[in-house]
């Protein structure tokens, strides 16, 4: 079956009934069927059957229901953060209409600035008050979800070990763990970086061989949070570590942005020799 809004639920339901089923990415199927002149349900079904019969497909890894439950909390928190940002921007824009330009600030300082600078007009105060009430509620619910996420991270051994890396907290560790879900589906640790879109794209044809920017494939939230963690490690963290020294040396050679992408790569700690652990070949 193709990926879709109900594909995870259907996949787990069918597997629970011992029905062998593979999930195929809808974009891959669309590319395979793009040469059809007429797009009909019958032609699509025939084309999908031909793709499966020839084996010209790769099954999509379906996340466990537990990972989906945690991702629901992470997604809800992300939506609340976006709502608070949107509401604060709307409040700032509304007040600019009446000559009030709020200074930089967030949280309590933003709320105090709105209360002090809002014009003494009942209609304007009602409008701003309604937006501020929604802003406060979104903040309260966001904090409640964050406390729940912190408890989940503390109960996970993998998340606790990830949190020992400077710049990584509960949100980043949970996002990464739920994105990977089953490490056994990756043959090499280097495949994780490609899965998260942190490796450069390549175009090769004849004498042309171009290595472009990172592919940005895979989970956008995990990639963004890993980049933020790398930025915190190289710019704000003052604790000395081999990873930080390597990132700063790389930054001086190739630039800050490329160095942060390299530090964000999940296998960075294993690729740099200063902290690589010597192990017998049988255990590597």
Counting the structural domains of the chain, the total is 3
Final residue before a domain boundary, out of 123, 155, 187:
155
Contact 36, 47 (CB under 8 A): yes
Residue-level pLDDT at 114: 94
Please state the pTM of the whole predicted model: 0.84
Residue-level pLDDT at 189: 83
Low-confidence ranges of the chain (pLDDT < 70): 268-284
The answer to whether residue 282 sits within a structural domain is no
Residue-level pLDDT at 117: 93
Cβ–Cβ contacts within 10 Å for residue 24, how many? Answer: 19
Cβ–Cβ contacts within 10 Å for residue 8, how many? Answer: 17
Cβ–Cβ contacts within 10 Å for residue 183, how many? Answer: 10
Q: Are residues 148 and 182 in the same domain?
A: no
DSSP symbol at 209: E
Domain region containing 218: 172-275
Q: Are residues 39 and 81 in the same domain?
A: no
Residue-level pLDDT at 280: 35
Final residue before a domain boundary, out of 95, 124, 155:
155
DSSP notation for 211-241: EEEE---S-HHHHHHHHHHHHIIIII--S--
Burial 250-278 (b: 16+ CB within 10 A, else e): bbeeeeeeebbbbbbbbebbeebeeeeee
Contact 170, 159 (CB under 8 A): yes
Q: Are residues 193 and 224 in the same domain?
A: yes
Q: Are residues 146 and 82 in the same domain?
A: yes
């Amino acid at each position: 079956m193709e990926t879709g809004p109900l594909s995870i639920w259907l996949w787990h339901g069918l597997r629970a009934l011992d029905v062998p089923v593979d999930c195929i990415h809808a974009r891959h199927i669309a590319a395979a069927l793009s040469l059809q002149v007429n797009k009909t349900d019958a032609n699509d079904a025939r084309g999908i059957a031909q793709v499966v019969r020839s084996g010209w497909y790769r099954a999509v890894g379906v996340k466990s229901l537990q990972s989906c439950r945690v991702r629901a909390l992470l997604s809800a928190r992300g939506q609340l953060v976006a709502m608070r940002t949107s509401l604060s921007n709307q409040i700032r824009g509304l007040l600019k209409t009446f000559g009030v330009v709020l200074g930089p600030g967030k949280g309590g300082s933003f709320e105090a600035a709105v209360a002090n600078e809002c014009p003494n007009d009942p209609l304007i105060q009602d409008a701003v008050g309604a937006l501020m009430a929604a802003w406060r509620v979104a903040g309260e619910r966001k904090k409640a979800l964050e406390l729940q996420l912190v408890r989940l991270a503390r109960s996970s051994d993998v998340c606790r070990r990830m949190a020992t890396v400077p710049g990584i907290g509960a949100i980043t560790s949970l996002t990464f763990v739920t994105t990977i879900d089953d490490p056994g589906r990756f043959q090499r640790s280097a495949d994780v970086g490609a899965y998260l879109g942190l490796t450069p794209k390549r175009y090769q044809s004849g004498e042309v061989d171009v290595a472009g920017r990172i592919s940005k494939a895979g989970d956008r939230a995990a990639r963004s949070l890993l980049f933020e963690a790398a930025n915190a490690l190289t710019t704000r963290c003052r604790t000395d570590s081999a990873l930080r020294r390597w990132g700063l040396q790389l930054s001086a050679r190739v630039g800050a942005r490329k160095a942060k992408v390299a530090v964000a790569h999940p296998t960075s700690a294993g690729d740099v020799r200063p902290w690589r652990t010597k192990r017998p070949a049988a255990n590597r």
